[in-house]
Structure 1
Amino acid sequence: MGVAGLCEICESRAADHRCDRCGTIVCLLDYDAEMGLCADCAARAKPDDRRGDTFRL
């Protein structure tokens, strides 16, 4: 599935990723590839208290 258009966060670079949580299309700089989330969702993610290697939103 291709992603087309401008990044919905910075609105200046071409979008090439889609956030797994909210569906926002974002550029490489506004995407956290390790988490699969846009910068906004990644900033709100908190480490899960039960397991340090997972995240709870």
Structure 2
Amino acid sequence: MSVTGVCQVCEQREAEYVCHRCGAAVCSVHFEQDRGLCVHCADPQGRDDVFAESDEDVPEFR
């Protein structure tokens, strides 16, 4: 399956994956490959910061 568009989490990077639970198109930073889930579905309680350290290179998150 081809994924096009921007990540539905950071709205900055190119989406490369689709969450197996919610269907969100997400970038590699916001996708847990071992579980096949976006960061929101992987942590539904919101305990973790969904904006990873590698988001620091995106101006909006500085």
- Relative to the length of structure 2, the TM-score reads 0.70
* CA RMSD between the two structures: 1.2
More helix by share: 2
Question: Which residue of 1 is the match for residue 14 of structure 2?
Answer: 14
Q: Which runs of 5+ in 2 are unaligned?
A: 46-62
Q: Which runs of 5+ in 1 are unaligned?
A: 46-57
Matches within 5 A, 1:1-57: 1-44=1-44
More strand by share: 1
Report the number of matched residues. Answer: 45
Question: Which residue of 2 is the match for residue 49 of structure 1?
Answer: none
Runs of 4+ in structure 1 off by over 3 angstroms are none
